[in-house]
Structure formats: C-alpha cells, structure tokens
Chain A
Amino acid sequence: MRLRAALLAALLILPGLAGPAAAQPRPMVWGDALPATLDPHAIFDVPSQFVLLNVYDGLYRYQGNPPQLVPWLAETHGVTADGLTWDFTLREGIRFHDGSAMTAEDVVYSFRRLLAMNRAPAAAFTPVLKPENVTALDARRVRFVLSTPYAPFLAAMPLVAIVNPRLLQANEKNGDMGQEWLAANGAGSGAYRIDAATYRARTTLDLERFPGHFRGWADNPKPIDQVRSRPVMETSTRVLALLRGEIDATDSYLPTDQVERVERNARTRVAKDESMRVFILRMNNRKPPFDNRDARLCFAHAFNYQGFNEIILKGMVIRNAGPNPNNLWGNPEDLKPYPFDLAKARQHCDAARAAGAPLGREIEVHIQSELEQTVQSAQMFQADLRRVGVNLKIVPSTWPQITGATGRPETTPDMWVHWVSAYFIDPENWIGQMYDSRFHGTWKASAWYRNEQVDALLARARTSLDQAERARLYAEATKLVVADSPDIWVYNTVNLRGLTRRVQGYSFSPVGSGGELRTMSLAE
C-alpha cells in the first residue's frame, strides 16, 4: 500500500499540469486496423473496407446478414438477355464531399481508373471488362459492355468506389491518376470525410460526418460526428485498451479465449456474427503424395475438427463442409463434412501407399507466423498425423512469402493454411476462383486442382443469368469437389468484435465486417 501511495504521489504531479479535463464526451475511437493506403482502387483487404464503406460509395452495397445486395448510388439497373450490356441509372442529387455533383462521367472515370491501375479490386473485372466499354449515356446513365457474359458482375459492384475526378486530376503527378495523392487523402461522397491534415499512415485517421450524404441521416437521429481511427497493433494491448475504455471497438477477430473476459467487464461486450470466411488447410494436388486421392482423403480424415473448433476455438466457429461458406446459396443440401476418423484415415493412407504415394517423406505445412490459429491448427494436425505414420513439418512464413510462391506448382508449398474472406457474395468468390483450373497461378487456386467436369460446370455457372440454374450448377460442382477432397475445409468464421457498451446501432455484414459507421451512435 505504501508503494502505491508513493507512486500515486509521484504520478499525480504530472496530470496536475494538465489543467481541467475536457468537458465534452470522448470521441468515438475505432481500434481496428487501417489499410496501407486510403486509395480504394489500390487495395482490397479487410481493413480497406472501412475506408470503402465510410468514405466512399459504390453503385451497389451489401447490407445486413445474410448480406443483401441493395441499390446504393444506382437507382436501378438493367441487363440485356445475352448478359453482356448492363445499364445503371444514378440517383438524383448525389454530391461529393467538395460539394460537386456526381455524374455518370464520374462513374466512367472511376471504372477506367480502376482498370488502368489493375490492382487488387480490379481482378474481378479485368477478364470481362475493357476500359473503353464503360461509357456514359447521359448525365445519369452508365453503360457497361462485357466481353463475355459474367453473372457475378453485379455482386462485384460494391468493390468499386466512385471517386471525384476533379480532385484527382488536380493532384495528378506524372500521369499517376492521382495515386500518390489519394493514398493519403479522400475524394469520395461517403457518409464520412477524411481529415487529411492529421492522417498518418496506419496509425491515425480522423473522420468527420458528412451531413450532405445522399442517403440523408433521417434513419439515425444521433449519428456520431467525430470518429478517431487508432489501430492497436498488438492483440493483448487491444483487448486491454478496450477494457479500459481507451478504444470503443477492437478488430472483428477477437481471440476466442478473450471473449469471456470482455463480456464480464461492465462496460464492454462482444458482437458475435456469423460471417463468410472459410478456414482452409491447402494441399498441393500436383505434388506427390497429394496427387493421390486416397492420400488426400487420409489427411481429410486425420484433422480433429471437433477438437480444433470446439476446444481450441471454444466453439466460436461453425464447422464448414465444403469450399463455400455454409450460409451461402449454391451448396448441395445433403453435403456432409468429413469426420475426424483415424481408422478411416489409416485405410486411405494404406491404399495410397500401396499405389506408390510417397507418404513416408516429410510433408511441409507453411503457416503464417503472426496468425496464431494457423500455428495451432498445424501443431494439432502434426500430432494426429503422426498417429497414422505421416511426418508433418511446420514451416513459419508470411502471407507475401507464401502467395509469392503459389505462382507455380513446383514452388507452391505441400500444404499451407489461410482463410478465404468475402470479397463479393457469390460462389464465384469461393469455389469458382479456388477450383476452376483457369485460375491456376493465383493463391486462391493454389491447390492446383483440375477436374474437367468441374471446370465446365463452373464456367457455365459464371455465364448463366438464371439464378436457379446457377445454384444447381454450383451445388453439383461442390459435390464433385468435396468428393475429390482437394483441400481440408475446417470452419466458417463467427466474427467477434469487442465493443464498449456505449456503441449503439452496430450492424454487421460479412462484407466490411460491421465497420459501417453510418448507423452507429454513442449512448451517454
């Protein structure tokens, strides 16, 4: 006690200097990660969606859970029967943050900029859309003419932020389309605008409410005027900062062993929402022994799904049977997940060995060192595989290192561990890009799986505009893929976000992970 008194005395001198504490309420402090760049056309990852959803608007947007695709900047759209020509009509009276009106020409500029930059968010469009095929019909109508029919076109619309060309052209440097400038500035029409003066990459982003947002604020009587984004790097610090009230929200991947602690605290809670983010152990189907189906089935039966999901992750995930998240359309109704069954695993391994599969060699699994679950899953798998006579070696790595290696089958690791997140809500985002061999060379297709029947089904599903037919085709493809067991699908994520109790109106959608500030308010 005496020690504490002495420390108190010493430390009280410091705040004594600080003068009267500010009387106004503490601003909202958002503790989730910030993207490396604020340019919405340069990057597409989970952190970038915070900027995309709050500073910018797209023609369409996902809302709610399960996610509904709702018209956003667009009022309506139409598509020709051949699925090639798509027309979108903008709402009236949309204004950018600088007060200028948004026109169809601005939409054209945004798509052409996206395609010219050819960075992450463009990947969904480049195979089917040429820059010159985006045109303005009049001030409010935009036409897209695709080179081949592409059903997920509408589903991918929310990926594209409409930017203000006047600001970008004024800040262009060596024909960079304003890339350097937009990386640290805002040029949007979204519900919040950026204070560029205080922005520091990845550490400080101050947002101010935009009263002139096209949706109006009638549905939120007490919106938050000032939001301070202050990412907390280290998980343990992030949790402590929330408990102490220094931040109002953590990221949406709170470690499952922290959930109880956050819920016990009187001023914090945990928002739990089923998302669409599948945890996978990949197998390189081109490399022996994984070119052998029995070997793959042996591995699929040797993973202790129950132990990992229920014990290690405390039941805060949902077992997922195939590549598509369970809560997405296009899954077969009777799809059964592989069970953890070492006897069955042994049978398959024996069959594989008899066929000459080199199961005696050391199998490498590459994990992402900074992501604990990838490590835990590999360690658990290592112990169980030993019981069926397979020697698994865990290799620490990082995301850029692994994805840099997945360009060719020879350099792709035997196995690696990762998630596939919801970039757009369509089976194309999961089974389509993961198991159609046309995507070989991308990290998503790094199982190097090839099945001509599956390729044909996926190609048809990609071009058909008949929703019922698409669902049937994807269900059929999923059945074939799961029977071939090219990878090990473990769970679908339940997003866990720690929040202070004063945060009201938090609403989750798998795209954006609940980071949309427009509906939130602070209780006093």
Chain B
Amino acid sequence: MARYILRRVLLALPALLGLVLLTFVLTRVIPADPAATLAGDAATPAQLGEIRARYGLDRPLWEQAVTHVRQVVSGDLGNSIFSGRPVMEEIRFRLPATLELTFVALLLAAGLGIPLGLVAALDHNGPVDHLVRVVSVGGLAIASFWLAIMLQLLFSMEWDLLPLRGRIDVAAGAPAAVTGFFLIDSLLAGRLDQFADALRHLVLPAVTLCLPGLASIARFTRSGVLETLQKDFVLYARAAGYGRVRLAAIYVLRNAVTVTVAQIGLLFGALISGAVAVEAIYDWPGLGTYAVQAILAADYKALLAVTLVVGVVYAVVNVVVDVVQALIDPRVVEQVK
C-alpha cells in the first residue's frame, strides 16, 4: 500500500511542473501590462521602462520563466505586484475559506448524491428514479449565479432566515486563526456562538456549490448500482437469502461506488472552479475572489500562485481519492503491481 501511495505522489510531480510552466506562459502572453497600472496616471514611457526593469518584466520570456520556476521550487511564490505583500501570506487566509466551502459542498454532494443514486437504481424506471433524474438534470442545468441570487432573495431577504454574505457576522468577529477553518477554529476557541454563526453563513453557498456535484454523483452511483445488480454474485447472494436492503447497501454499493469515488476526485476540480462565481456572489473571501481581483489587476504573480496552489490541492485530493478507492476495492492495488 505504501508503495502504491508513493507511486501516486511521484506521478503528481511532473504534472505540477507542467502546470507551473504552462500557467506562466499563459499569463505572460496576455497583452496586459502590469507596469502601466502600477505607474498610474500620466506616467511617462521612461517611468514605465524603469518599473518594467525593476520587476524584471523587460527580460526575455524564457529568462523570466527560469527565474519563476527556480523561485517556486525554492518555495517562494514571490510578492504580489500590487499589494507588495508575499503572495503566500495572502493565500494563507484565503485557501482555508475556499477549502471549507468546497469540503462542505463535497460532503453534501456525496452524502446526498450516493443515497439518491442508490434509491433511484433500486427503483429503476419507477417514480423515485424519475424524480431523482429531474433533480440531477436540474442540478446540472441551473446556473449557479442565478441560483445563488434566488436563494439570497428567498432565504435572506424574504424570510430573513440566513445571512446574505460573508463567512461570519461583523459583530461576532472571526475566531482566532489556528487552521483558518472557521468551523474548527471556533470549536478550538470554545465559541459555540461563532461556530453556529459560521455554519449559518455556510449553508447557502455550500448548497449552491454542491448542486452540480450532487447531480453527477447521483447519476454515477445510479448507473454503477444498476450495472452491479446484473453481476452474478448478486444473483448468488440473493439465492443465499440476503435481504434486499442489506444486499444493496453493503454488497452492491461497495462494488458500485468505486466509479463514483474516482468521479469525486475529478469533481473537486469542478467545485473549486465553480467556487469563483459562488464566492463572488456570497462575498466569500476565498481563492476564487482573489483570482478574479488578480486578473482584473493583471497581478500575474498572484494568479500564478493561485493556479499552483489549486493544482497542488487537486493533486493531493486525487491521491487521497486513489487511496480511498484502493481501500474500498483492493483489486486496484493488485492491478498496479
């Protein structure tokens, strides 16, 4: 098992190096000029030249790329051109916000999607199956920014049940930062009021974000279960007298869900990119809003760091998914050997 994990980790490294290079080239060929925004009004061409030289923007692209890779490998993501602060420090506060939101959304998507898929498959072509189909098609089709605004209008404005925006109420204040996850930090600080407030703030964004994932997890589980139900071992188990529920929930689901678990790894990427719109509307101070601000300001250092961090998180999540898959289905490790 340890060798299997090591192998997965090593495979992720070249992918990350490729990501570093590709994003660098992409952000630098965009014709936006950070120097022009830095220098501001009425800066003379000479002033612009001086700024370009100061930030190394006048060097050949390959030279800039080498400097960049060297920096990244040494663990330094540089300073944001605009704020002048280390990019890592800005990301440190924003990454936990995005992860907290995506993890909760993922939990909701898997926690609801897998049972929904299972019951839909068991009621193949029945009314439950149709209902789940409507929900999952709807979940994939509804634009998240529209849904977000509708939920805000209903739950915050009309019914006054949930907060409209942000991670925590201004009066409650943020919990002392330990992990950056408000749900964890508030419990560590023993502040149940902050925990409840953070949880209330999470409901609408997490529901908005989880919907497309929930839909595809339900679809994948359903088809996996349907396929497994056709297998011989199910027939034998049934013949051996296993009850319908026990058979479905334990034997069928374990065999059917490996595809879904692999799907969750891919979904995580979709969730993080989906978080950009959701974060913007709910004013969630995460990486998505940070990336948008970086794009609008042509802050390529910040942008490169965001893509790299998201890439690392994505790689880690997928290693974890591979391991979980191997735990559920030991045949995966055997195949690799």
Residues of B near A27 (CB, < 8 A) are 170-171
Instruction: Tell me whether B136 is interfacial, beta carbon within 8 Å.
Output: no
- A427 to chain B minimum Cβ distance, whole angstroms, is 14
Q: Which of A14, A15, A201, A241 is the one whose CB lies under 8 Å from B85? A: A201
- A122 to chain B minimum Cβ distance, whole angstroms, is 8
Residues of B near A126 (CB, < 8 A) are 44, 47
Instruction: Tell me whether A80 is interfacial, beta carbon within 8 Å.
Output: no
Given contacts A17-B192, A19-B192, A198-B174, contact A243 B283 (CB under 8 A): no
A240 B84 Cβ-Cβ under 8 A: no
**Cα–Cα, bound, A413→B93 (Å):** 39
Name the residue of chain A whose CB is nearest to the CB of B195. Answer: A17
Name the residue of chain B whose CB is nearest to the CB of A438. Answer: B44
Instruction: Tell me whether B5 is interfacial, beta carbon within 8 Å.
Output: no
Q: Which of B257-302 contact A (CB under 8 A)?
A: 280-283, 285, 289-290, 292-293, 295-299
Q: Mark A416-445, 1 if CB is under 8 A from B, else 0.
A: 000000010000000001000001011110
Residues of B near A401 (CB, < 8 A) are 30-32, 298
Residues of A near B40 (CB, < 8 A) are 43-45, 119-121, 123
Q: Which of A360-382 contact B (CB under 8 A)?
A: 370
**Cα–Cα, bound, A27→B173 (Å):** 11
**Cα–Cα, bound, A121→B39 (Å):** 8
Instruction: Tell me whether B240 is interfacial, beta carbon within 8 Å.
Output: no
A370 B296 Cβ-Cβ under 8 A: yes
Contact size range, A:
35 or more
Q: Which of A200, A237, A405 is the one whose CB lies under 8 Å from B164? A: A237
Residues of B near A29 (CB, < 8 A) are 170
Q: Mark A196-208, 1 if CB is under 8 A from B, else 0.
A: 0010111110000
Residues of B near A22 (CB, < 8 A) are 171
A14 B165 Cβ-Cβ under 8 A: no
Of A212-220, A225-233, A516-524, which binds chain B?
Answer: A225-233
Contact size range, B:
35 or more
Name the residue of chain A whose CB is nearest to the CB of B281. Answer: A234
Residues of B near A7 (CB, < 8 A) are 155, 159, 161
**Cα–Cα, bound, A7→B40 (Å):** 51
Given contacts A179-B84, A180-B84, A243-B157, contact A200 B93 (CB under 8 A): yes
Residues of B near A184 (CB, < 8 A) are 83, 85
Q: Which of A113-168 contact B (CB under 8 A)?
A: 118-121, 123-124, 126-127
Q: Which of B41, B153, B199, B280 is the one whose CB lies under 8 Å from A423? A: B41
Q: Which of B39, B162, B282 is the one whose CB lies under 8 Å from A120? A: B39
Instruction: Tell me whether A285 is interfacial, beta carbon within 8 Å.
Output: no
Residues of A near B314 (CB, < 8 A) are none
**Cα–Cα, bound, A126→B45 (Å):** 13
Instruction: Tell me whether B322 is interfacial, beta carbon within 8 Å.
Output: no
Of A34-42, A50-58, A305-313, which binds chain B?
Answer: A34-42
B41 A123 Cβ-Cβ under 8 A: yes
- B106 to chain A minimum Cβ distance, whole angstroms, is 21
Residues of B near A16 (CB, < 8 A) are 196
Instruction: Tell me whether A8 is interfacial, beta carbon within 8 Å.
Output: yes
Given A17-B195, A237-B282, A246-B166, 4 extra CB contacts under 8 A? A7-B161, A118-B51, A433-B42, A441-B48
Query: 18 A-B Cβ contacts within 8 A?
Result: A11-B161, A15-B200, A43-B40, A118-B39, A118-B51, A180-B85, A201-B90, A233-B289, A234-B281, A236-B149, A237-B152, A398-B32, A400-B37, A404-B37, A433-B42, A441-B45, A442-B42, A442-B43
A residues within 8 Å of B by Cβ? 4, 7-8, 11, 14-19, 22, 26-27, 29, 36-37, 39, 42-45, 118-121, 123-124, 126-127, 179-180, 183-184, 198, 200-204, 228, 230, 232-234, 236-237, 240-241, 243-244, 246, 370, 398-401, 403-407, 411, 423, 433, 439, 441-444
- Counting from the closest, the 5 A-B pairs by CB-CB distance are A120-B40, A404-B33, A400-B298, A17-B196, A36-B82
